[in-house]
Copies of this chain bind each other. A is one copy, B any other.
């Protein structure tokens, strides 16, 4: 196929769009691949849609190869099944809701668990019908609070979602493994560099769950990896509990707590500096560290019914609470920091000097108090004295205070201990391109999907759910495959095999370019022919690099000497090939 720049519906932009921050967004807009319509809502231009369709085709082929069957659901979904599973409410603001002319409630499908469950219920009734894996590639809608980064996190996007149906957990494990394998094949073929990390099933409710994260600095997901092979999304990461010495006699072996005036210590750093500077407070064995201080955060937590409850969380002062870990730990409840009004209801809380002595369900405040896994019996802390301007030193957990339980929501720091091997964790960022998880019977139970087993007994079907962000994968690929001049598409993703530049003004040059385009087209190669008249070679070269087609061919001055320039967009390598052999040579480059 030959596409001509002279008639193509495409205008490349010289400058980065003002609203774009990440490379893929900038380049996809500059290259005329996508255009913004509304926040998180984009249109595809011709070259962009070709890239999208290439990605979609690869995903579909890999699903078909794995034996999954394609179906297709509507986007406009009735309220009832979502009411039955409780998600009509649970989704909160994240789902688009609407009414039809008869005032019936609908939502725009953000995901389709309910519909798949009901579809299988409608057709199948026996264990003999299972296992079954079905999928769709479909437009999804989510009213994201913060759509960002172009098509990386949009409000209307395309997903491939699959579901597996089995009679028992063993079957589910097998279906899960088949999907995992199919995902590996898919992402390999998409030329993505990715890791598979343990994840929280989160909103979906379930057990085993892994995410496929494409490595990218701009990724929204933080994960940790260890040289032992362990990798986990920070939400799913498990921090080892600190060890304690059972022999330790807290009353004898540790100093008593003492309250001290600590003026001008608005930060953890200033508190630590002062503690080390004052000889009466300095530790004999070593300097005080930020990790010796205990920071107590007050939150107001709202549950599904809209009821608020206070919650205090104690973490070592050297680290913040990670909001995503907190969100995952409290899900489906939602937390916000204490506000003035909240403090007013608890006058015993001295803002900035809150200490655990009055926290806990049995404490003076009655506020539930959860602590970091590093806060264990025998650990001694500098923390607030519940009096403005005063801190308490050598407050010992298990002697001077206690908590209502553990909460593991502190930020992860490079070098933290791996729970698997005891080694050091390293933090990295990625884009979630796939997610597989074992739903179990949650949806089948809610919606009554049961089949007769071998003994004629009704059993609830167990399900798996598997998603790939198809439009997001386009952005992830662009994020991993670009340089300072533009996009650099892997060949199977690229909208064309060859970008063929007619660089010159003579009819001979244009005729030679046309002739080459025809020959490559006849060989089944996809050619973009830059046949624009009155456009300088410089502009054409820039566009050829911005658009990112893997092979660039230039028909220019060399033609007189029988030479055609061929450039590899990935390596930047250029070579002058003979006009006599260039057709075969480039065909070989494009097909091997």
By a CB distance below 8 angstroms, the chain B residues around A75 are 75, 139, 141, 156
A338 interface residue (CB < 8 Å to B): no
Do A77 and B37 contact each other (CB < 8 Å), given the known contacts A69-B9, A98-B97, A134-B46?
Answer: yes
Interface residues of A in 113-168 (CB under 8 A from B): 115, 119-120, 122-124, 132, 134, 139, 141, 143, 145, 155-156
By a CB distance below 8 angstroms, the chain B residues around A41 are 74, 76-78
Interface residues of A in 65-94 (CB under 8 A from B): 67, 69-78, 93
A11 touches B101 (CB 8 A): no
Interface 1/0s, chain A 1-43, versus B by CB < 8 A?
A: 0000001111100000000000000000000100101100111
Return the chain B residue nearest A104 by Cβ.
Answer: B38
B119 touches A35 (CB 8 A): yes
A52–B72 alpha-carbon span in the complex (Å): 10
B71 touches A9 (CB 8 A): yes
A253 interface residue (CB < 8 Å to B): no
A230 interface residue (CB < 8 Å to B): no
Instruction: Count this chain's copies in the assembly.
Output: 2
A145 interface neighbour in B38, B67, B70, B101, Cβ under 8 Å? B101
By a CB distance below 8 angstroms, the chain B residues around A387 are none
Return the chain B residue nearest A34 by Cβ.
Answer: B72
Interface 1/0s, chain A 39-69, versus B by CB < 8 A?
A: 0011111100110100000000000000101
A353 interface residue (CB < 8 Å to B): no
A457 interface residue (CB < 8 Å to B): no
By a CB distance below 8 angstroms, the chain B residues around A104 are 38
B38 touches A78 (CB 8 A): yes
A115–B141 alpha-carbon span in the complex (Å): 19
Do A93 and B97 contact each other (CB < 8 Å), given the known contacts A43-B74, A71-B44?
Answer: no
- Nearest chain B CB to A426 CB, angstrom units: 36
A401 interface residue (CB < 8 Å to B): no
A106 interface residue (CB < 8 Å to B): yes
- Nearest chain B CB to A13 CB, angstrom units: 10
Do A71 and B96 contact each other (CB < 8 Å), given the known contacts A76-B155, A155-B76?
Answer: no
- Nearest chain B CB to A260 CB, angstrom units: 48
Do A45 and B73 contact each other (CB < 8 Å), given the known contacts A100-B96, A143-B101?
Answer: no
A123–B9 alpha-carbon span in the complex (Å): 8
By a CB distance below 8 angstroms, the chain B residues around A70 are 46, 49-50
A76 interface neighbour in B52, B76, B106, B141, Cβ under 8 Å? B141
9 pairs of A and B residues whose beta carbons are closest in the complex:
A98-B98, A44-B72, A93-B101, A46-B69, A38-B78, A11-B123, A74-B156, A41-B74, A76-B156
Chain A residues within CB distance 8 Å of chain B: 7-11, 32, 35, 37-38, 41-46, 49-50, 52, 67, 69-78, 93, 96-98, 100-101, 104, 106, 108, 115, 119-120, 122-124, 132, 134, 139, 141, 143, 145, 155-156
Given A38-B77, A44-B71, A76-B108, 6 additional A-B pairs, CB 8 A: A7-B67, A41-B78, A43-B71, A45-B71, A46-B71, A49-B71
24 contacts between A and B (CB under 8 A): A9-B69, A9-B124, A9-B132, A10-B123, A35-B119, A37-B78, A41-B77, A43-B115, A43-B119, A45-B123, A49-B70, A49-B72, A75-B75, A75-B141, A75-B156, A76-B108, A93-B101, A96-B98, A96-B100, A97-B98, A98-B98, A100-B143, A100-B155, A108-B108
